[in-house]
Homo-oligomer: A and B are copies of this chain.
Amino acid sequence: MKAEIITIGDEILIGQIVDTNSAWIAEQFNIHGIEIFQITSVHDDKKHILEAIQNAAKKVDIVVLTGGLGPTKDDITKNTLCEYFGSKLVLHEPTLEHIKNRFVKRNIDINKLNRDQALVPDNCTVLYNHLGTAPGMWFEKDDTIFVSLPGVPFEMKYLIENEVLPRLEKTGKTKAIYHKTILTQGIPESMLAIRIEDFENNLPANVKLAYLPSPMSVRLRLSATGDDKNELEKLVEAEAGKLQQIIPEAIYGYGNETMAEAIGKMILPQRKTLAVAESCTGGLVSHLVTSVPGCSAWYKGSVTAYSNEVKEKILGVKTETLINFGAVSEETACEMATGVRKVLNADFAVATTGIAGPDGGTPEKPVGTVWIAVATDNTVKAKKFTFGDNRERNILRSGQTALQFLRQVIMEE
């Protein structure tokens, strides 16, 4: 099966937003054995949209349109679809109810623009958009499937996952495919490739290994294609089991698991708790931890000590430590970790202190210098890291590195 993605909206064509939707859809379709033949971005313009649909319909089995469905878009996309299919806009009552309910909850009356969002071409199947007011639409014509979705990423993703892919699977034209992503950390990609070279060379012919590097970890994806999904699952799981034998210390999770989730899985069964003290990461580490559902069972909280006053007063960092070694030092990091562990009454604690930039660097401690410390019942360990000169990336890398270091220390215990 082949598909074309048509994104509608001036925002992409003036470079105001990057088209992340298409990459996401392409990846999802690819996983389901559907090839993306082309991605086309066009203006909010009837003639242009119509031409793109006509061109795509000649070449592919599925045309996915995203965007152009907001309340102020003058229904260009929907009117264009009506013209293409020779259909007309009709009111879809369940969608109108859904829109009204969303506004009632927020104590707002709906206006004509909101009401018009419930108008859909009379030849479409409405795909219920649980997360927004613009409904998804599914059309079929001459063996080609057309799907029109809102451009808001989380609404689009919801509809692809819950409405579009299940319907495409029912056509029986998608291929059976099974993927498993193995999350590793601590071994650079080039070293990892050598460690698992034999494993890779001995993979069954229908199982492929792909490296998916990301800023702080290397993801390995095993993919098997064939006819029987259950067989493929068994095959891939068996190969993933072999990898677990070869690089046990590097694998921290699978699929979309985060480092914070992996840490939660280690702490919860021990009935222990975690606390965080942050300076340069400014709240990011705590945010990453609290993104894990159910973390209140093992997470106490955090202190962001952006001023020395807070480091001393709340975390109990000694004045002499700050004077003698500075706020960005092994000593301060260790006192922050032991301090927050004590004051929040937790078993494990991690602390960050560094110079995120753009200002505050010195020749001795340039921007990007970060100390991370972990304190437990038995020990306190600190490590220095040197990142780059971009504030945003320094904060992000420090936050992720803090969780990695915490995981390592917990593993060692």
Contacts and interface: CB of A to CB of B under 8 A. Distances in A.
A191 B113 CA distance: 9
Nearest to A25: B15
Size category, A interface: 35 or more
A39 interface: yes
A105 B314 contact: no
A92 interface: no
Q: Which of A154, A284, A285 has the most CB of B within 10 A?
A: A284
Contact of A302 (B304, B391, B395): B304
A243 to B, nearest CB: 16
A84 interface: no
A40 B37 contact: no
A273 to B, nearest CB: 8
A296 interface: yes
Contacts of A300: 306-307, 309-310
A276 interface: yes
A398 to B, nearest CB: 11
Interface string A271-300: 000001010011111111111011110011
Task: State the number of copies, please.
Answer: 2
A17 interface: yes
A324 interface: no
A205 interface: no
Contact of A16 (B28, B152, B221, B285): B221
A14 B27 contact: yes
Given A111-B190, A289-B282, A12 B26 contact: yes
A221 B15 CA distance: 13
Interface stretch (A135-143, A165-173, A207-215): A207-215
A144 interface: no
Given A39-B41, A295-B306, A212 B16 contact: yes
Nearest to A218: B72
Given A290-B304, A357-B293, A15 B43 contact: no
B70 A391 contact: no
A11 interface: yes
A38 interface: yes
Contacts of A72: 189-190, 193, 211
Given A291-B395, A296-B360, 14 more contacts: A11-B212, A15-B28, A37-B43, A39-B39, A39-B41, A152-B213, A286-B286, A300-B309, A300-B310, A301-B305, A301-B314, A302-B302, A309-B344, A314-B314
17 contacts: A14-B27, A15-B27, A15-B28, A15-B30, A17-B23, A19-B22, A19-B23, A37-B48, A72-B190, A111-B190, A152-B213, A282-B286, A282-B291, A283-B304, A284-B287, A287-B395, A290-B306
Ordered nearest first, which 6 A-B pairs have the shortest CB separation? A282-B290, A283-B286, A15-B27, A15-B26, A283-B283, A283-B287
